[in-house]
Amino acid sequence: MTLQIIQNPLEKPTFWSIPESSLTASQLADKTATLKQRLLDITARFSDVRFATSLAAEDMVITDAIAQSKTNIQLFTLATGRLHQETVDMAKTTEDHYGLPIQKVYPEDADVEAFIDQYGMNGFYDGEVAKKACCGARKIKPLNAALLGADAWLTGQRREQSTTRVELNFEEHDGARGITKFNPLFDWTEADIWAYIKQENAPIHPLHLKGYPSIGCEPCTRQVKKGEDIRAGRWWWLQSDSKECGLHINK
């Protein structure tokens, strides 16, 4: 006789939670030293380096390392107009904690209005084309503007994050913008990220404590159940190969 386990439909789901790390103190120290050296090497090669921070965990690691290494890297964040209030507040928390200014880059009103006129305020739910149009207006065009005049820029991307990033390199050529792009955490694991944050007591985005491993705009991000892919909460109504907004297309 086979025992069948029937899940109670009223039972609350278990959401993602911050992972434990098996890194030793020595291993974490080596990773930290390598990260800081990467930042120093980048700023030795380029005079105008900018960092696009989403204020999520990976980007807080980089922010902390920038502050500790005292590198002259400018921080900015894409203030899309559809962010969680927690993200808006996190920018101020980060500025206060590190004493570093974070430039808020806003979309052009005309671009947002054009999207709404064509698709509606929440038209991105209708499919990939509309989603790309919204990201284009609220994220990609503002990013392009934020990087004008820069020699290089940094991201918090990691190979482990998704199938579209498994071949991610430390250094890339951003052909879309004609500058060099760096991914200082390309070879870090999720557990490495949280081990660093715990050790350095870096600020934690409040949504990470509520089951959000990956954080974007409010209507396009939801909690992730335990065992799901860490980017499953991003644009969840689309296919699994549609988990990018277009910011990191280098061609």
* Catalytically annotated residues: 245
Both tokens assigned to 221: 């991000």
Residue type, 239: Q
Coil/strand/helix, residue 43:
helix
Among 208, 211, 237, 215, CA closest to 224: 211
Coil/strand/helix, residue 195:
helix
Q: Helix/strand/coil (H, E, C) string of 4-19?
A: CCCCCCCCCCCECCCC
CA distance 43 to 48: 8
Residue 180 backbone dihedrals phi, psi, to 5 degrees: -90, 140
159 and 186 Cβ atoms separated by less than 8 Å: yes
